[in-house]
Chains A and B, each alone.
Chain A
Amino acid sequence: MAGPSLRPHVHWAQRHRELYLRVELSDVQHPDITITDNVLHFKAQGHGAKGDNIYEFQIEFLEPVEPHPVCRVTQRQLNITVQKKESNWWERLTKQEKRPLFLAPDFDRWLDESDAEMELKEKEEEKISKMKIESRVPKDPFRHLKKGYLVMYNLVQFLGFSWIFVNMTVRLFILGKDSFYDTFHTIADMMYFCQTLALMEIMNSLIGLVRSPLIPAVLQIFGRNFILFVVLGSLEEMQNKPVVFFVFYIWSIIELFRYPYYMLSCIGIEWKPLTWLRYTAWIPLYPLGGLSEAVAVIQSIPIFSETGKFSLELPNPLNVTIQFSFLLQLYLIALFLGVFVNFRHLYKQRKQHLGPKKRKMK
C-alpha cells in the first residue's frame, strides 16, 4: 500500500561526545526512533518535502553509539541527539563511505574539530568556576548556634545600655543638673558590666565569628575601657564631676543604635530607618563622645600629677621614671588622631551602606 519509502531531509552535526540530527519534518506527532546494532531507524508521519506522508530513513553510524537517542519535536523539525560511545572526532557520519543523498551537513550547528575543542574547554572552565563558588561557602553545622549566641550578646548589651540611658534620662528629668554629680555612683556598675562584656566583641572578631576587622574593634574597646576603668574608675575625685554624665550618656545613645542594628542583621532582617540611624547618628555623637572623653582626660591630668598614681619615681630597681600625667597627654593626642581616622572610616562605610539611597532621603 505504501510506495517506496520517502526520505526526509536530514542535517547532521557533531561534537566530540555526541551527534545532532535535524529531520526536516513538521507536524510530527509520534515519531518512531530506535537504534539497534548501531543503526538508527527513523519512521514518522509528518509534513516534509513531498507533502504529508510517512517518512523513514536508516543510518548506520561510523562508530559505536549509545542505543538511546533523545528526540525533541518542534513544529518545524525534529532534533535527535545521539551519544557516541567513545569521545572521538568522526570524519563522516555513516559507516558507508558514500554520503546518503538525504543527509547534509547542518551548518547552523556545525563546528570543526578545533572550535569544538574550544567549546569543550569553555564548558569545563564554567564548571570549575561554579564548583569553586559553591565550595567557598560550605554549610556550617554550627551556624545556628553562632547566630543565636550573637543575637543574645547584642540583645544583652542593648538591654544594658537601654537601662543606662533610661535611668539617666529619668534622673535628668527628676533631678535636673544635680543628676550630673552622682551619675557615677548609680550607673557605674552597669557600665562596668557592659564594657567588660564588650571584650567578647574582640573575641568574636578574633575567631572570625564576625566579619568586622579586628584592630578598630580593639582600639575602640581599649579606648573606652581606659577612660572607664583608669581615668574615671581609679580616681574618686573624677567620679563626682559632671563630665561623667556626658561621657556615659553619649556612649549609651551610640550603643542604642548600634546593638539593635547588629541584632537584626544577624537574623537577616533589615529595618531601613534603623540602618539609616545607625549610619547617621554617629556624625554628631562620635565627635561629641570624643570631646567629652578628652575633657575627662584633661581634668584628670592634674589629679594624677598630684597624687602620683600609676607613676614611678626614682630611685627604683627598674631605673626608670613613669609620669602617668605625661602618658595621658600623649593619649590625648592619640585620641584626637583616632577620632579623626575613625571618622573618615565611618564616613566611607556610610557611603557604602547608604550611598545610592542618599538622594531619596533628601
Chain B
Amino acid sequence: FVSYQVEILDWKTKEQLCFLDKVEPNATIREIRLMFHKLYPQWYPARQSIKLDPKGKSLRDAEILQHLPVGTTATLYFKDLGPQIGWTTVFLIEYTGPLFIYFLFYFRMPFVYGLDERFTSSPHPVVNLACICHSFHYIKRLIETVFVHRFSHGTMPLRNIVKNCLYYWGFAAWLAYYINHPLYTPPSYGKKQINFAVIMFLLCEAGNFSIHVALSDLQRNGSKTRKIPYPTKNPFTWLFFFVSCPNYTYEVGTWISFTIMTQCVPVGLFTFLCFIQMTIWAKDKHCTYLREFKDYPSVRMPIIPFLL
C-alpha cells in the first residue's frame, strides 16, 4: 500500500498552492477538489480546473489518482474558472425572463406603446393565442428544467449568463413588441394559417417533451456513462431513427410554427438564429456520438433527417 503525495501548482505562475500528504491511491479528483477547497475556501470545487498539464484539459471528478499517468508524487495544475453558476439556476433565470417580458407587452404597459394604448387589448384572437403559446413554451421549459433534465456538467461561468440573458430576453422583448402592437396585422391566410400553426406547435412541443423524457430516462440509474438513445414506444421518439438530436429538431419546429402563427419577421429572424445555433450543437453532439460508439446507426443525421 503506497500512499500518494499530491502537489498542486498554479497553472500560470507554477507556484505551489498546496501539498497534500498521504493521499489514497484510489482517491478521486472530486475528493482532491474538496481537500483543495478546505485550504482555499474561496475556490469551491466547481470553480477548480485541475489538470495534468498547464495547457491541457480539466480532469473530471470521477478520475482516479492511481489511474492517471503520474508517479507517487503527482503534480497537478490549478486554474480558477471564475465564479460559477449552476445550470439549473441559469435555465431558470433565462426562461423566466421571456415569460414575464412578454406579459409586459401583452398587457400593454404604459411605457411600451404610449399612454393612449395602455392596458388595451388586441381585437385579434391570434394575439391572445400567441401569448398562450409563448407562455406555454416557456412554462414547459421551466418545468423540464426542474423535474426532467439531468445535467452532465454542473456549472457554467457567471459571465455566460449575462450574454445569454441579453440574447433571450432582448429577442423576447423585440418580438413581443410587434406581436402585441396596436397596428399588428394578423396572418394573410387567416384561420387556415393559424390552425395549421397551432397544430404544428402542439405536435412539436409534445415531441420535444417526449425526447427530453427519453433522454433523462437513459441516465435514470445515475450512471455517468453515455448510452445511445433509441426510439421507444412513444411515436414522437421515432424521430430517433433518423436524427441524433430530435429535441433540437422539434424545437426549431416549434419556432417555425410560431412564426407561421404570428407572421412576424422578428419571430422569423429568431427562428433562423435558433436553427443555426441548434444545428451547431447537434453537429457537435453527433460527432461525439460517432466518436464514442463504434456501432452508431449510420442512417442518422444531426438535426434534419437525410439532409443536415
Which residues of A pack against B, CB within 8 Å?
314-321
Contact = CB atoms under 8 A, between A and B. Distances in A.
Contacts, number: 28
Contacts of B266: 319-320
Interface stretch (B143-151, B181-189, B224-232): B181-189
Contact of B262 (A314, A319, A321): A319
Contacts of A315: 183-185
B264 A314 contact: no
Contacts of B208: none
B187 to A, nearest CB: 8
B185 A317 contact: yes
B183 A317 contact: no
Nearest to B181: A314
A321 B177 CA distance: 11
A329 B265 CA distance: 21
B178 A319 contact: yes
A310 to B, nearest CB: 15
Interface in B255-308: 262-266
B211 interface: no
B179 A317 contact: no
Given A319-B185, A319-B264, A319-B265, 13 more contacts: A314-B181, A314-B183, A314-B184, A315-B184, A315-B185, A316-B185, A317-B185, A317-B263, A318-B263, A318-B264, A318-B265, A319-B263, A320-B178
A319 B188 contact: no
A221 to B, nearest CB: 25
28 contacts: A314-B181, A314-B183, A314-B184, A315-B183, A315-B184, A315-B185, A316-B185, A317-B185, A317-B188, A317-B263, A318-B263, A318-B264, A318-B265, A319-B178, A319-B179, A319-B181, A319-B184, A319-B185, A319-B262, A319-B263, A319-B264, A319-B265, A319-B266, A320-B178, A320-B264, A320-B265, A320-B266, A321-B178
Contacts of B188: 317
Main SS class of interface, B: loop
Interface of B: 178-179, 181, 183-185, 188, 262-266
A97 B122 CA distance: 113
Contacts of A318: 263-265
A321 to B, nearest CB: 8
Contacts of B178: 319-321
Contacts of B185: 315-317, 319
Contacts of A321: 178
A356 to B, nearest CB: 35
B137 to A, nearest CB: 19
A319 B178 CA distance: 6
Contacts of B262: 319
A314 B263 CA distance: 14
A317 B193 CA distance: 14
Contacts of B179: 319
B174 to A, nearest CB: 9
B235 to A, nearest CB: 34
B176 to A, nearest CB: 12
Contacts of B183: 314-315
B225 to A, nearest CB: 43
A316 to B, nearest CB: 6
Nearest to B178: A319
A316 B181 CA distance: 12
Sorted from nearest, which 6 A-B pairs have the closest CB atoms? Answer: A320-B265, A314-B183, A315-B183, A319-B264, A318-B265, A319-B178
Nearest to A315: B183
A320 to B, nearest CB: 4
Contacts of A316: 185
Contacts of B264: 318-320
Nearest to B179: A319
Contacts of B263: 317-319
A208 B181 CA distance: 49
A98 to B, nearest CB: 59
A315 B263 CA distance: 13
B130 to A, nearest CB: 11
A316 B178 CA distance: 11
A321 B266 CA distance: 10
Nearest to A313: B183
A186 B178 CA distance: 45
A314 B184 CA distance: 7
A319 B126 CA distance: 13
A320 B179 CA distance: 9
A147 B183 CA distance: 59
A316 B185 CA distance: 6
A314 B185 CA distance: 9
A317 B178 CA distance: 11
A319 B264 CA distance: 5
A164 B295 CA distance: 67
A319 B184 CA distance: 6
Contacts of A320: 178, 264-266
A317 B262 CA distance: 10
A318 to B, nearest CB: 5
A228 to B, nearest CB: 28
A315 B179 CA distance: 11
